[in-house]
Amino acid sequence: MYKSILTAAAMVAVLSSCDNMKNKAEHDELTEASTDTAVVARTGETAGAAMSDTVDADNWDVDANMPDVTTYTEVKNPKVKVRANDTYKVYDVDETVLFDTDKATLRASAKDALEEVAGSIKQRFSGKKVRVVGYTDARAGQEYNKDLGRERAEAVKNWLVQNGNIAAENIAVQSMGEKEPTASNATAAGRQQNRRVEIVVATK
């Protein structure tokens, strides 16, 4: 009886030790992950599975690989790219036009780009629902990136309402933070591509 108790206790100790070793290994793996790859180690999520933060409950399933549009001649700024399919039109605005690094206050250079976007939306999609989506790179923590993406989306929305004459009730904001990168966060060029704001119009 006593020997059985000792055996059981030993087994519990071994199992506990294994769990501790596993937890330590996972912790070390996260600690050693670079700031550029930490999000992968942290979550193991695919981009499509990530939860977003939005002001409404609608799920806009926007294809990141939709083809570019070159026929919107009213959009002349090379830092604004347009992609489209039958359901959505996406105005992708480079971060360097809109914001300084880690800031959510619009730069003076944002005016011309946003005027073109607002004019295009009013010309082609007047009265349609619009969603402003903020993206970041993966260098900071998830919560920080999500907050920054939201603040940037709100800044763009406010500009479109106040200066672009787009009705506030037609614009929602969404922060993807570091989710759904378009390029690798392991390089400066890739991180730059990931820092962006997308202005999405639902055309159906």
Which tens digits make up the pLDDT trace of 64-106? 789 999 999 999 999 999 999 999 999 999 888 999 888 999 9
State the CATH number of the domain containing residue 74. Answer: 3.30.1330.60
- Residue 84 is predicted with a pLDDT of 94
- Tally of structural domains, the chain: 1
- What are the pLDDT digits (tens) for 145-200? 899 999 999 999 999 999 999 999 999 999 988 888 878 888 888 888 888 899 99
Indicate the pairing of strand 53-54 with strand 80-84.
Answer: unpaired
pLDDT tier at 58, thresholds 50, 70, 90: low
40, part of any domain: no
140, part of any domain: yes
Distance CA 79, CA 82 (A): 10
22, part of any domain: no
The secondary structure of 33-101 as a DSSP string is S-TTTHHHHHH---GGG---EESS-------TTPPB----TT---TTEEEEE-SSEEEEEEEHHHH--T
- Residue 61 is predicted with a pLDDT of 76
- Residue 197 is predicted with a pLDDT of 92
Q: How far is CA 6 from the centre of its chain?
A: 54
Residues 6+ apart with CB under 8 A from 124: 72, 89
On the question of pLDDT at 18 being above 90, the answer is no
Distance CA 195, CA 102 (A): 10
Q: CB atoms < 10 A from the CB of 98, how many?
A: 25
170, part of any domain: yes
Distance CA 79, CA 14 (A): 59
On the question of pLDDT at 47 being above 80, the answer is no
Between residues 139 and 10, the one the model is more confident about: 139
Between residues 7 and 198, the one the model is more confident about: 198
33, part of any domain: no
Domain that holds residue 182: 47-202
Q: What is the pTM of this model?
A: 0.70
pLDDT tier at 50, thresholds 50, 70, 90: very low
Q: CB atoms < 10 A from the CB of 71, how many?
A: 7
Q: Which of 64, 90, 127, 93 is nearest to 196 (CA)?
A: 93
29, part of any domain: no
Q: How far is CA 75 from the centre of its chain?
A: 23
| pLDDT, mean of residues 99-117 | 92
Which helix (H) or strand (E) element contains residue 178?
A: none
